[in-house]
Chains A and B, each alone.
Chain A
Amino acid sequence: MLAGRCLKRMLKLDNISKVYKVGTFGGKELHAVSDVSFDVKDGEVVSLIGESGSGKTTIGKMILRLISTSSGAISFNGVDISTLKRGALKEYYRNVQGVFQDPFSSYNPIFKADRVFRIIREEFFPEIKSREWNTKVESTLEAVGLNPGDVLNKFPHQLSGGQLQRFLIARALLLDIQFLVADEIISMLDASTRVDVLNLLADLKSRGLSILFITHDLSLGYYISEKAVVLYRGCVVEMGSTERIYDNPLHPYTKMLMASVPRLDKKWEEVEVELKAKQSELTSGCVYYERCPVADKDEGCDRYRPTLLEAESDHFVACSRYTEGE
């Protein structure tokens, strides 16, 4: 165990795709995720940014092995996770856990909320004594900023969304995980508790936890992460260091997203963006072609899918208007 800890651990996504068969007889294909590659290093927070339907949750679920990949491979510490079975899979879940958007639907309303901790104990730590376990639960709850006396022995409806969400993070922490998939965990919370959960993630990060932070809120992504991946209809359109992307968004889609973020220091510019995303088939051209204000037929935007290129150091973009090193 200790020797493994010293190695550089890493989650790596290698050209993963997810294709769903849709239509009456499964004749049509829906590409939810196409050829996505990126990696999350030790103690790194990576934001996965995109609108609804961009495939960001699908990627999170594939990492958690809740759904299978259609092609490509996800590896954790060099091991392909699709090959994991039984004991090895359990060991994987000991290291990798997820927390999801809606804290209220993550609990069974019939049971008390702290049942999630009991299940963890039954599954992963049957050898630990009750008293020892209870102290562990209490110290973990304190670590996520909850007062154990206030929150234990309560039903889900007696707790607030922020408390339930922190419960779920505490549950993940009990396992001493290395990687957390945080899927829109802030969006259901109130502004005053939002920052507390964000700061909690930041603290965990400084303790060496790697986080995939899935969000549609760009300001939250900027606050917490050093790397950002922007998705549009299942494709990575831009990725790189958060500062570079935010200060200098290159892809027209990222620019549009930046322009739409409601900010407290600037009003929306009078950029009228055509938001009718036509639900057409995925063509061979750039995925953003129909909504792109600067699409150019001569550049072949409608015919060729641009590949992800490094526009400046540590800043990638998939747009035919940019070529390597420009």
Chain B
Amino acid sequence: MSLQVENLRVYYQTLKGDVRALEGATFTVADREIMGLAGESGCGKTTLAHSLIRLTLPMRFVEGRVTLDNEELPVWDMERMNDFRFKEISIIPQYAMNAMNPTRKIGKMTEELLRSRKVDFRASLPELKRRLDLVKLSHDVLDMYPIELSGGMKQRMVMVLSILLNPSLLIADEVTSALDVSSQKAVAEMLVEFRNQGCCKSVIVITHDISILYQIADSILIMYAGQLAEKASTDVIINSPRHPYTKLLISSLPEIGVKYAEKRLTGIPGSPPLLLDPPIGCRFRDRCPLAFDKCVEEPPFIEIEKDHFVACWKVFEENAQA
């Protein structure tokens, strides 16, 4: 088990009270697994990722336990996390294009970065060059300033930086969302390549684009309004989802070959609840076509089949009958 998260609860502190952005997340990511994390904006996927690596104010750690390779991560302690950050757990941030120091040449910046982790730059240079080849960047970029690179090139450079120390877990936060289809494909395939070449052991890919996950992920975790809704292997999530939210989400995606005149897709009516004072029980209740009395209680996230976790009372009921 590479990553184990147990009952992780993280709130945002505001003047009006706590915004309950992540409520009791429990899941595991196996070695060599690429897990996709999907959901609408504001569902807590970035909060989950950041709480694993850099839990800063206004985020507040409430409770939970995170272990990586059988070692507990002190996610609530910024100082102690320094030993793990970048070495054991690394992130490709959402705005990777603005992540580099504009006043340093990229090679120089990389050198400083490595020195801060007490790693010799000279010794890692051959490996760095090999990784640049992997993402199809010329070695000349090390002598350039970030401004001389295009957005896509900067993105790939940041990807190389984040895997430089062979982290056990790599988090890719919305790395494909600002790109067009052909670069999207290239970047997504690079993530798979990183895993295959052993640059990182497991990957969490955060995106709102489920079709990308279908291409590269081994498993998909769906979140809604701060709660986990469903986790299963990619094929199960796409072809036979159980949670009503997952079903609606998948059916609302336009595909090639679908025209509105022939098959009119429907969105999900309503909008997600505010997390400042969220409804008790299942937070999808108000938009759910299957909601019933039981839904005022919060559904647990239970394994209904092997490797298939769902949090929905209706599904539990159906399973009990079957």
Contact = CB atoms under 8 A, between A and B. Distances in A.
Interface in B148-190: 179-186, 188-189
Given A161-B41, A219-B255, A199 B260 contact: yes
Interface in B238-289: 238, 248-250, 252-260, 264-268, 271
A246 B257 contact: yes
A196 B269 CA distance: 9
Given A262-B211, A276-B136, A195 B254 contact: yes
Given A190-B40, A216-B180, A264 B253 contact: yes
B254 A260 contact: no
B12 interface: no
Nearest to B136: A276
A217 interface: yes
A264 B210 contact: yes
A89 to B, nearest CB: 33
Interface string A191-204: 11111101100100
A273 B264 CA distance: 33
A273 B268 CA distance: 36
Chain B interface mostly helix, strand, loop or mixed? loop
Contacts of B179: 52
B121 interface: no
Contacts of B212: 262
Contacts of B41: 161, 190
B184 A260 contact: yes
Contacts of A263: 211, 214-215, 255-256
B254 A265 contact: no
A51 B182 CA distance: 8
B136 A261 contact: no
Contacts, number: 116
A160 B42 CA distance: 10
Contact of A192 (B136, B184, B268): B268
Interface residues of A, number: 39
A109 to B, nearest CB: 18
Nearest to A201: B260
A258 to B, nearest CB: 8
Nearest to A253: B182
Chain A interface mostly helix, strand, loop or mixed? helix
B180 A52 contact: yes
A202 B238 CA distance: 27
B218 interface: no
Given A52-B180, A191-B40, A264-B238, A275 B186 contact: yes
B232 to A, nearest CB: 15
A252 B155 CA distance: 26
A40 to B, nearest CB: 18
A116 interface: no
Contact of A198 (B189, B257, B260, B271): B260
B184 A219 contact: no
Given A192-B267, A194-B267, A195-B267, A222 B249 contact: no
A256 interface: yes
B46 to A, nearest CB: 14
A190 B256 contact: no
Contacts of A48: none
The residue in A190, A256, A265 that gathers the most chain B C-beta atoms within 10 A of its C-beta is: A190
Contacts of B31: none
Contacts of A264: 210-211, 214, 238, 250, 253, 255
Contacts of A125: none
Given A263-B255, A264-B250, A223 B260 contact: yes
A257 interface: yes
Interface in A260-278: 260-265, 267-268, 273, 275-276
B254 A220 contact: yes
A51 B267 CA distance: 26
A273 B184 CA distance: 12
Contact of A218 (B181, B248, B259): B181
A260 B181 CA distance: 6
A281 B214 CA distance: 38
B112 interface: no
Nearest to A268: B215
B180 A246 contact: no
Contact of A222 (B180, B183, B259): B259
Q: Rank and list the top 4 A-B pairs by shortest CB-CB distance, nearest first.
A: A262-B211, A51-B180, A196-B267, A192-B268
Interface of B: 40-41, 136, 179-186, 188-189, 208-212, 214-215, 238, 248-250, 252-260, 264-268, 271
